[in-house]
Structures are given as structure tokens and as C-alpha cells.
Structure 1
Amino acid sequence: MRSQVSRGPWGVLIALSVLGAWMGHLVWLLAGANLSLASPLAYPHIALQAYLCTGLFITGHDAMHGTVSRHRWVNQTVGTVACFLFAGLSYRRLVVNHHAHHTDPTGPDDPDFSTRTQSFWPWFATFMRRYTTWPQILVMAAKFNLLLLLGVAQWRILAFWVVPALLGTVQLFYFGTFVPHRRPDTPDMAPHHARSLPRNHLWAMLSCYFFGYHWEHHQSPSTPWWRLWRMRDARARAGALAPGGEPTARQVSPPSL
């Protein structure tokens, strides 16, 4: 999955911005925010932190495809940090599993796909069982207890760290796995067995950092998340010119950066 587009400093700057926003907002919520669960203002901050958690994993995901930087060590460093902060995940293990997903999406060896059920919660449970490990659980438990030792109130840890991470996980699964890959396949999903959200860039960004443009991601894994909207536009233009509507994979090229 080598990059098909050149990369300047934007990938690193955007990745560091997402990491910084996630960390800064979380530290403020845990240590300095004058908020309580009785305050209506707490819940928009929980939602925002969940959205930033989603961006944290999307950053790690882009690093797996080498789109953060042209330097491999930068991608590995950013990806390792992002996945560890998100939920104590092993970046190396995720790279292996995610590349298996791209090799044969929805196939028998796809670790993201459920061949037993297409219902959301059973599929989500299968997904979580495959990706959750004992080392990850121990890491998360250590983080939780470290925050307690630092004097952070337990309700703050649960409300501002645990709940947003869980919400972000559900958001990533829904928009990045369930909706794009659930069956039955339709002609516009070929050849990647992946569908995209209807063309609405604002909703695509708010829902999952353009990750809902999932056909485009599988067509060009080397295109960073913040350029997928251009892929979607190119596909829409090609589809408007094609007799059958949606273009084939060869008709859509990744945008130059």
C-alpha cells in the first residue's frame, strides 16, 4: 500500500493538531474544567471529546497507510502514540489486521467483517472480541489507576475519558465498518465491497472525518483522510460522465497534494 501521492508537511501538522486537541481538551476536562454532570455544558464537552477520540484513531489509521509522512519512522511513531492513547492498542498488531482487511474486504480472512451476522450489535461484539487483548486491558487499567493516583476524581475519568473512548469506538465501527461493508453488496460497491456516504462533505466530516467515503479510501489507501472529499468529488464527476452512473475503479484517480 505504497503512497500514490506526494506528501508535504501537512500530514504531520494535521496529525499533531488532532493529537494536541485530544490531549489538551482531555487534560482540561480532567484537571481544570469547572464542570459537573449536573451542568448541561458537560455533555457537549463529552461529545467533543468523543469526536476527538475518533480523530485520534483516524490519525493512527492514516499512519498505517503511510499518509502522515513520507518518512516511515514518523508514521510508526505517530501511529504508535495515537493507538496507545486511544485505547492502549498495539500499533503493530493493528497494521497486520488492517492490511488483511484491505487485502480481502468482507472475505473469509477479513478480521473486520462478520460472516455470521449483519446486525449491528452482534457484529460489533464480534469485532470487539477480535481486537481486544489482555495487554490492552492491563494498559487501560494502569492508565485508570494512574489518573486516580494523580488525584483525578473517578467520575471525571469515567465521564471525560472512558465514555468518550467508548463512543468514539462505536462511531468508528458504525461509519468505518458496519455501514460501508454490510451486505448485500450493490454495484456501486465494486470492486472493494465498500460503499460511501451520500455526497455531503459537512456530514462526512462531522460523522467520521470523511472516513464514510469508504469506497474512495479502499480505491486509494494512500490518500489521507483530509483529502478523501476530493476523491469523492472526482468520482462524482466521473460518474456524471459515465453511461452507467457510478465509475469503475480505473476512472477515479487519487488527487495530487
Structure 2
Amino acid sequence: MQQPFFKKYQGVLIASLIIILWFSSLIFLLHLPVTWTSPATYLFVLIQTHLYTGLFITAHDAMHGVVSGNKKLNKTIGVITAGLFAYNSYFRLLPRHHAHHHHVATDLDPDYHGGNFFAWYYSFLKQYITWWQIVLMAITFDLLKLFFPVENVVLFWMIPAILATFQLFYFGTYLPHRGEHEPTNKHKSSTQAKNHLWAFFSCYFFGYHYEHHDKPYVPWWQLYKVKA
């Protein structure tokens, strides 16, 4: 029996929705007159941050092969979403992320650092940001400011990318892997308390991090189902 279209292509449709929302929101916000005293301005920054995070989470799911059963399409979506997030390279991220899963919270884990919060965040940034990305971002910034107000480019294109990096680090790396874990904790990962609304808005359910390590084949939009 053939699967319904939506169910068969659910991962691709959700990935496409995130890309469309990110792009359309960015275009809208780049044209929006900035009112510094309006709470809406800062709300839009948070919304765009969340959509940036969604791009990376989609690229992450592609690294696990769960966006599409078609390997070529899955990889294409991974390349696109990683690239839209500050010119990240999917092919550079892929082996590092699998090293994280295979060697979690050890010296071979590129996401792990035994130092304090700030040293760990700095180490995280060094793992995922390259000089060529910074150069490409600078070139793109110079191009965008030819067509849009500088404050719009900074507020809605640049700052959300930086905040999303922090969001991914804090909820997806630091909180679940900090401190000591019981020897019986085979994934050396903690997990958020069950609250699906907060889990989605904080980091697309990746606060349910033990569950992700235990079932990496489950896409982000189904992680809540495996939460104990």
C-alpha cells in the first residue's frame, strides 16, 4: 500500500517550510522600518533567530539522513540549510557531528570541552566558524547594505545568526553534556523536563537530548514522541 504524499515527504515538506519562512521573514524584515522603541522590533529578532536555528536543525537532521529517504535530496537540503546559516559547510559539519555521537563527552568529541562555560562556548565557535565564512559574511553584508538600511541588515540578518549559534550551543550542547554523568548513562547526556512547548521554542526539541542520542534516526519534529 502506497504511503500518502504528505507522510512520504513529510521531512522534505517541513524542511522546505523552514527555508521558506526564514527567507520570506528575512525579506519582510529587511524592508521593515526599524522602530527602536517598539517591542515588535525585538520580537522579530527573536523570531528570525528561531528560524535560523531551524535551518541548522534541518541540516543536522540531514546529517542523520532523516530529512528524506532519497539520499541525494537529503544531502541537497542539508547543503542548502547549512549554507544559509552563515555559510556553514555541510561536508565539514558532517564528520564532526558523527564524531560527537560516536565519542560523546570525550577528548575525541569536537563539541565537548571540559572548561567553564565561556571557554566551552569559545571552543564551540572555533569548531563551527571558519575564516572563509567570516569573509563571505562580510562580503554579503556589504552587498546587502547597498539595497537595505544598515540597521535592518544588522538587526535581522547578522544578530539572529549570532544568537542562534548561542541557542544551539546552550540548549543543544552545554546544558545536556555539562557536568558528570552516571556510568549507566551510556550517552553521557541529560534531558530537559517534559514540556513540549518550551522544548520546541528553546531548540526544536533538542533539549530532549538523551532521547536524540538514543534514537538519532528520529527527526526533530518527532522527538517529543520518544520523550519518556
Regarding TM over 0.5, the answer is yes
8 Å contact kept, 2:177–2:190: yes
Is the contact made by 1:35 and 1:41 (CA closer than 8 Å) also made in structure 2? no
Structure-2 residue corresponding to 1:65: 64
**Aligned residue pair count:** 222
Query: Could you tell me which amino acid in structure 1 is paired with residue 166 of structure 2?
Result: V
Is the Cα–Cα contact under 8 Å of residues 205 and 221 in structure 2 kept in the other structure?
Answer: yes
In structure 1, distance between residues paired with 2:102 and 2:67: 21
Deviations 1:195-254 (A, max 9, x none): 11011111111111101111111111110000101111xxx2xxxxxxxxxxxxxxxxxx
Q: In the aligned structure 2, how far is the partner of 1:204 from the partner of 1:24?
A: 25
Paired residue type of 1:139: L
In structure 2, what is the Cα distance between the partners aligned to 1:34 and 1:50?
A: 19
- 1:186 maps to 2:185: no
- 2:4 maps to which residue? none
In the TM superposition, 1:28-177 aligns within 5 A as: 28-31=28-31, 33-115=32-114, 117=115, 119-149=116-146, 151-177=147-173
Q: TM-score, normalised by structure 1?
A: 0.83
Structural RMSD (CA): 1.3
The answer as to whether partners of 2:34 and 2:152 remain within 8 angstroms in 1 is no
Deviation at 1:75, TM superposition (A): 1.3
Pick from 212, 215, 228 the counterpart of residue 217 of structure 1: 212
Instruction: Give the SS at the match of 1:177.
Output: helix
Corresponding residue for 2:196? 201
Counterpart-to-counterpart distance in 2, 1:22 and 1:54: 10
Structure 1: unaligned runs, 5 residues or longer: 1-6, 237-257
- SS in structure 1 at match of 2:165: helix
Q: Decide whether the 8 Å contact of 1:18 with 1:56 is kept in 2.
A: yes
Residues of 2 paired with 1:213 and 1:161: CA distance? 28
Equivalent AA in structure 1 for residue 171 of structure 2: F
**Which residues of structure 2 form unaligned runs of 5+?**
1-6
Q: In the aligned structure 2, how far is the partner of 1:37 from the partner of 1:47?
A: 15
Stretches of 4+ aligned residues off by more than 6 angstroms = none
Q: How does 1:21-32 map to 2 (within 5 A)?
A: 21-31=21-31
Taking only the aligned residue pairs, the percentage that are identical comes to 45
Alpha-carbon shift at residue 73 of structure 1 (Å): 1.0
Paired AA for residue 9 in structure 2 = P
Q: Tell me the CA shift for residue 62 of structure 1.
A: 0.5
1:75 counterpart letter in structure 2: N
